[in-house]
Every structure is written in C-alpha cells, then in structure tokens.
Amino acid sequence: MKQILEAAFDPEAFRYLGHRVVDLLTDHLLSAGAREGNVVRAAEPEQEFQYWTAKMQEDPGTPFEFLSEFLKRAISLHHPRYLGHQVCPPVPVAALAGLVSELLNNGMAVYEMGPSATALERWIIDRTATLLGMPKGGGFLTSGGTLGMTTALLAARASQIRNAAESGTEPKWAIMASSEAHYCSARAAHVMGWGKEGFVTVPVDERFKMRVDLLDEIFERTVATGRTPIVVVGSACTTSTGSYDDLNGIADFCARRGLWFHVDGAHGAAVAFCPELRSLLAGIERADSVVLDFHKLLLTPALATAVIFKNASCSSIAFEQQAQSLWDASRQGEWYNVGRRSFECTKLSMSLKIAAIWRAHGEEVFAENLRCVHSNASRFAEILEESGQCEIAVRPESNIVCFRLKTPGMGIEEANALHRRIRAAIVCQGDFYIVQTILLGQVWLRSALMNPFTDEGDLRALLNRVTAWNSLV
C-alpha cells in the first residue's frame, strides 16, 4: 500500500502536472482578458451539489481533468465584466507564491514553524501601519475581515474593561456603529455575549454616512437603558454604497467619551496606498485599531486581512491563554509568536503572497489598481446619469456603484421585483456578474468595479443590458 503514497508524492509527477496546470491557468487568463466565455455559470445550489456528488463517485480520473473541470465551473474574476462581490482578480505572481506556501505548509502559530513568513508579516504590517499614519503601530495578518473585526473588538473590550472581565462580573457593554456597517460588527457583539442589545446602530445621512451629530444623543440613550458603549466602529467604506464615514468626527467623539475607536477599513482602507485617494481616510490615524483586506483592492488571493493597532502592545491583549507546548506565557512582547495574538493557531503563510506582489511589481502596482477601479466607478456613474434612464443611489467615493432604472408611476414592491428579475436574468445569461443590495427599502443593482481592465465598452454594454428592460416599465 505504500506505493499509493509514493505515487501521491512523486516529484516528477508533480512537475508534469504543475506545468499543465500553469498552462491551463494561462489559457484562462488569456481567454478572460479577451472577454471570451462567461463570467459566471449559473447553477442552482442543489443542482451543483448533485453534479459534484456524481463526479466524486466516478472512477478516479487524472488530477488535471479534475482541476480543469473545476475551473470550467468557477466564476471568472479576471474577466473584465466581473462587477460582483468585493473580491479582486489576484495577480498571477501571488497565486504562484500561494503554491509555494501551501506545498511547504509552514504553519505560523510559533516563529519556529514559519520564520520567513513571520518576518515578512511584520514587515507588511509595519509598512501598512505607516501608510495609515500609525508609525508605531503593530498587528498581524488573519483570515478575513470578520475574524479581524472580532479580534480588534475583543482587544477593545480587554483594554477598556480588563478588571471587570477578569473578575467575571462584566457589566452590560455595547458597540456603536452605523446602520450601514458590515454585519461583522453585530456578529462580534454576539460573539462577546452582548446579544442584539449590545449592538447599537446610528442612523446615516443621505449619502449613507454615519450621523456623527447623533452620537452623543444615542450614547446617552443607550446608557439610560443599562448598556454602556465602549467602542465605536467607523466604516471606511460601507459595503453597500462605498461611503466613507467622517472618521475625524467619530474620533473627536471617542476622545471626548474615552471610547475605543475602530475603523472597519476592510474594503476602503486600501486607498492608503494611493496618494490621490488618501484624503478619504482623513482621521484614520486617530483610530485605536483598523482592519484592512489585501484580498479586496490590493490584488491578493483571499484570504489576507491586516489587523493593525495604533499602539502595538494592544495587539497582544485580546488573547492571553497559556499554551505550554508552544510558548512560555511568562515571556511578554513576543511579536514573533503570532498564535498568541490571533484567533488562528496554525495559520497560512499569507504574508508570502502579499510580499511576492510587492517584490515583483513594487508598491506602485497597488496605487495604479486603485486609480483604475475608482476611475471606472466614477465614469460608470456618469454614464448611468447621462443615459437619462437610470439613477444612482449616491455619487461613488469608492469603486462601488449602486443604480437602478427610473420607474415613474411604479410602486416600490413592483419596482423591487423588477430589479430582482433584471439581476437574475443578467447572472443567468452569464456574460456579466453583478449583485444587488437594499437601501431604504428599495432594491438597487450593485456593481463593484474590481477589475482594472474593465473599460467603457463593458460599462455601456451593461447599461444597455439593463435598459433593455425599459419596455416593461
């Protein structure tokens, strides 16, 4: 039976398969770049499950056939007509770095298991913190914005109420965030045992930004109910519309009340890498913690999220458990044993993927990508308004554009149903991929312009596809 293992680990078989897979992916990139084939292959969940159930019960084929089949059924983020969820088309060198990382399989709970990845991670965090205006900041990489948010808010709780938490008599605390904040803020409140009442929403203005002028009133009202907010989450930017909260205004409030200020910059904090767009983050340097996803606007394969604290020592206070087989809990300040500070123990060497982009293409590649996708969003908004047939929810600050047909005389529910049908029909046809969102009870088509090679022809083609439904209005 050992022959099975020897075949599985055969280096020459790997060399052969590796060359074929790289050729396969190269053809995929060429085809997507030429706008050939579909962006998405629509299939109902049960239908897809049945397909793969049958496939897995067949006699084993070659690894290449299996991977090729998976590719055919996947969404093509490298296609310029992908305008869907906030996941970027990664640059190829990052994928190759991921292959190296995954074959080596050096977990990062402790420095000894991933020395190079750990050192690169610190370099990435230090550089990113500096760009955010936190030159003395620190942190780590983790698997996604939700884990990053929860880690940061656990640190906020530990910082603000350490004595109460250790005594086991923690009072009733709360998080404040805008009504447009990402759901992971509410999830963090749930994880910390604060329930629905522990998540307090602040209304937004006509641009879907937090009403900073209401913070004091809502704080006092919450305290009167027996809950004490200890942290405010600012959005940079919101998921639905890409609107940036007034970070300086929130920072002023937090400073006055002695609260922790966290910025959910999973999507938009990436503009710190682009001098022309950096002003969108005015005030972020005053935050106590920030989350930034490299896999959204910084060309990196998912998942790769930076959790950054203005005070580097705060990155160690969320988790202080002992692990005798991994580290000596009596030794403080061990930035290099990352498992002491993050949810994850065994952690992917995600720093290699980010560092490979930096080394191969320089920091300017991030800035240029940001310029392209933001410019595309601004132009798309102009095209939609110039058409006279569509309206936009808000002039975009980021690469997100929410739009819908003008439907005079049509009721809200009827218009909502129409836009759901439009979106479903576009996805079913497969040559575009867009999503939808709900703003103030209305369904809006939502496009996130993630691909820097999307051009005006693609945008006008999407507009034509949507306005073709005007005969039904």
Domain edges within the chain: 100-361
| Confidence check: pLDDT of 470 > 60 | yes
Domain 100-361, architecture per CATH: 3-Layer(aba) Sandwich (3.40)
| Confidence check: pLDDT of 61 > 50 | yes
In DSSP terms, which residues pair with 442 in a beta bridge?
A: 439
| Confidence check: pLDDT of 164 > 70 | no
Per-residue pLDDT of 253-289, as tens digits, reads: 999 999 999 999 999 999 999 999 999 999 999 999 9
| Confidence check: pLDDT of 190 > 80 | yes
| Confidence check: pLDDT of 330 > 80 | no
Answer for the pair 299, 365: CB distance below 8 angstroms, yes or no.
yes
Mean pLDDT rounded to a whole number for the chain: 93
Per-residue pLDDT of 409-442, as tens digits, reads: 899 999 999 999 999 999 999 999 999 999 999 9
Which segment of 98-102, 198-202, 320-324, 362-366 scores lowest on mean pLDDT? Answer: 320-324
| Confidence check: pLDDT of 229 > 70 | yes
What backbone phi and psi angles, to 5 degrees, belong to 390? -125, 160
In the structure, what pLDDT confidence band is assigned to residue 313 with cuts at 50, 70 and 90? confident
Region for 347 from its dihedrals, namely left if φ exceeds 0, alpha if ψ lies in -120 to 50, beta otherwise: beta
Per-residue pLDDT of 447-461, as tens digits, reads: 999 999 999 999 999
| Confidence check: pLDDT of 355 > 50 | yes
Q: In the chain, pLDDT over 90 holds for what percent of residues?
A: 83
In the structure, what pLDDT confidence band is assigned to residue 323 with cuts at 50, 70 and 90? very low
Question: From the centroid of its chain, how far is CA 110?
Answer: 26
Looking at residue 332, what is its pLDDT?
59
Which segment of 35-39, 248-252, 311-315 scores lowest on mean pLDDT? Answer: 311-315
Tokens coding 213: 């002028």
| Confidence check: pLDDT of 6 > 70 | yes
Q: Which of 208, 211, 205, 201 is nearest to 179 (CA)?
A: 201
| Confidence check: pLDDT of 166 > 80 | no
Calculate the dihedral angle through the C-alpha atoms of 183, 187, 190, 196, rounding to the nearest 10 degrees.
10
Q: Can you give the pTM of this predicted structure?
A: 0.94
Question: Who wins on pLDDT, 134 or 337?
Answer: 134
Looking at residue 322, what is its pLDDT?
47
In the structure, what pLDDT confidence band is assigned to residue 369 with cuts at 50, 70 and 90? very high
In the structure, what pLDDT confidence band is assigned to residue 325 with cuts at 50, 70 and 90? very low
